[in-house]
Amino acid sequence: MTSARRKAAEAMERTDVVIEVLDARLPAASSNPMIHELRLFRQRPCLKLLNKSDLADPEATRAWLDYFNAQPGVKAVAISCKKAGEVARIPSLCKSLAPHRNDGTKPLRVMIMGIPNVGKSTLMNALAKRKVAAVGDEPAVTKSQQRIDLSSQFTLTDTPGMMWPKIDHDEDGYMLAASHAIGRNAVIDEEVAEFLAHILLQRYPDYLAARYKQDVSKLDGMGVLEAIATRRGFRLPNRSGRGGELDIERAALTLLQDYRDGILGRVTLETPESRTDMLARAATLSDTSTAETKTPEND
């Protein structure tokens, strides 16, 4: 990541517009603060693409677009990189952010950035109208930068997915893991799925009830996983060869995959309001922790 950050900083020096690809289901949690820092240092305008919008809650997406579009130097749009018509809008949106390049003397230089598995490579291929970047359902498929000339007036630089060294908030980590931006070797699937189930119970209980044919009104996150395991017959083998205890891991993977594939419905894990509340809770906990560690000598 240190090497990727250095190369990104070097490339941004020669960039007119930064495209930051976000996951529309978790727009703030999927925004790398290092990208924000690099962009502001070079004073580059940003086109924020809320990708996978076809999987996200439309009402929440509208709230996020209003939130980002109120920021200086930022234009935000919701798209699905798999829809050619929506991708076709991107060059003109980039040009609107860099009017000094509209004289035709030099090409508009655009840089695509984002965390792993948000759809950068899919976007790159759609813009180029051919396969120029590897695509996969695992994080970190793109390994190195590459530059593509779409025309004499438009060049693209694709970058590897960049995560930041330390995720400050546990909730962000769980949302990223649920959305597969973090590989399975770095998380415990049952914990991630329990967190996801908790959010779904709060915001989309009807989706859970419809998908798994269960009354979820009195369940907590772990209860949802147990209900899925019971309903689907997921049990661990015992010595007799018959089903033993509930296979919670298999139930967790089922819930996570149903969410990732959009089978549950159009789900968004955070809103601008929930983000504000989460940051406020984190600040309160930090202040409390600081106060508790003070000694009389420090007061």
pLDDT digits (tens, 9 = 90+) for 3-44: 777 788 888 888 999 999 999 999 999 999 999 999 989 899
pLDDT at 148: 86
Residues 6+ apart with CB under 8 A from 224: 194, 197, 200, 201, 208, 212, 214, 216, 255
What are 260's two structure tokens? 């990732």
- Assess whether the region 2-158 and the region 170-285 belong to the same CATH fold: no
Alpha-carbon dihedral of residues 86, 90, 96, 102, nearest 10 degrees? Answer: -130
Give residue 191's region: left, alpha or beta (phi > 0; psi -120 to 50). alpha
pLDDT at 299: 44
* pTM of the complete model: 0.88
Closest CA to 69 of 27, 101, 124: 27
Q: CATH top-level class for 170-285?
A: mainly alpha
pLDDT at 292: 66
Give the three-state DSSP class for 158: strand
List the chain domain ranges. 2-158, 170-285
Q: CATH top-level class for 2-158?
A: alpha beta
Q: Is residue 29 within 8 Å of 269, Cβ to Cβ? A: yes
Chunked into runs of 10 residues, the chain (299 residues) has average pLDDT values of 76 91 97 91 94 97 98 96 92 91 82 91 88 60 72 87 85 95 85 97 97 96 97 87 85 97 97 96 79 55
